[in-house]
Amino acid sequence: MTQPTAAQNSQTSTAVQHPNLVPPHGSSELKPLLLTGDARTQALQLASTLPQITLSSRERGDLIMLGIGGFTPLDGFMNQADWQGVVDNMRLQTGANAGLFWPIPITLSAPKTIADTLNNGDKVALVAEDGEIMGLLTVEETYTIDKLHECQQVFTTTDSEHPGVQQVLSQDEVNIAGQVEVLSEGEFPTLYPETYKTPEQTRQLLTDKGWKTVAAFQTRNPMHRSHEYLAKIAIEICDGVLVHSLLGALKPGDIPAEVRQEAIKALIDNYFKADTVIQAGYPLDMRYAGPREALLHALFRQNYGCSHLIVGRDHAGVGDYYGAFDAQTIFEKLEKDDLLTQPLKIDWTFWCNACGAMASSKTCPHDASQHVKVSGTKLRKALSEDEEVPDNFSRPEVLDILRSYYASIALEERTEVKLVGASAL
């Protein structure tokens, strides 16, 4: 890809170094692409005169992550060679980042009618679906892709029922590659002022706490007892845990971010020792790519300063497309220096009636008949159908919040939650 502009270099040079934390991916410092001050004002004025490309929700989240440095060291949306290298070999192919590990393509699409009017070097405005100007892109290349090939490689399926496959198949016909200048973080700073944090803000917070080893806990669900157990295992190993919630778009039936944030806060306030957990959020949509998404989660958590990522059962999975622990074994295929953030692989966790406590397959000696296996899907299904939830599934303070949320939705308007794959066991 092309080299950063002077405005972007000026931001990069201000990145604060945090020597006790893992360095960003493929770089000694974060590389945010978000413009501020006069540079942003001038860019917005220019954008109003340019052709526009409307971003999908996923592309908008990716652009914001580029802006805040979450996708360091990328400087924009991938060209065809990088797309091909990432899809087939999880490697970037061009420029200063050639050979660098990257597990999922970060691409922008546009209708052919727009792409055919663009030449290399042209600038276009990147606009959200609500009309907000989110950024500028300098066109490097336009190209078409084999969408089914991307789906098979990234999601291991071309089934159109898979929500990630749906995202790719619904893209416009042509991909547009190029360096970006980001002009907005969207609604996230104002909608989630206490939890939304950029990588630099997160690194500063970790540094202020004196933490060196930090485990990220990825979640798109409210935390139930199994999640709580995973986080507490990590606290025994690391200085602290970053409960890092996805704040972008989910599939129908998942619980909205504001409800999850409230439920997670209640759990942390009541059941964790003070100053062992930080609750934060990031602006991406879920891709539901299972193993490959687990790798992306580890990669950008490295940019946020985390030394470890908790990887439990069915990480970033959906339905029955992935094996329960495929997201753990994929890390074994990486080369030694691909990622500095390492997985904390934890076996199937559950409540054991005989133990009278949370346990895992590695620690519990009792028969499976004594086990009450907890999953976010099972919890959502019970709550959405107004069923009783066993005490060993979730904490009462959390259940009160979730029940209140479901009570606000008419029964006939609730999305059906199906138990398939690992969530059904």
Cα(184)–Cα(398) distance, integer angstroms: 33
Cα(16)–Cα(19) distance, integer angstroms: 10
Nearest in space to 288 (alpha carbons), one of 327, 316, 324: 316
| Alpha-carbon torsion (296, 298, 301, 305), positive or negative | negative
329: how many CB neighbours lie within 10 A of its CB? 12
H helical segments located in 117-241: 147-155, 163-169, 188-191, 199-209, 225-237
Query: Cβ distance 242 to 202 under 8 Å?
Result: yes
Query: Cβ distance 351 to 372 under 8 Å?
Result: yes
Which stretch of DSSP H or E encloses residue 407?
helix 396-407
Cα(10)–Cα(26) distance, integer angstroms: 19
Cα(24)–Cα(187) distance, integer angstroms: 25
Q: Which residues are catalytic?
A: 220-221
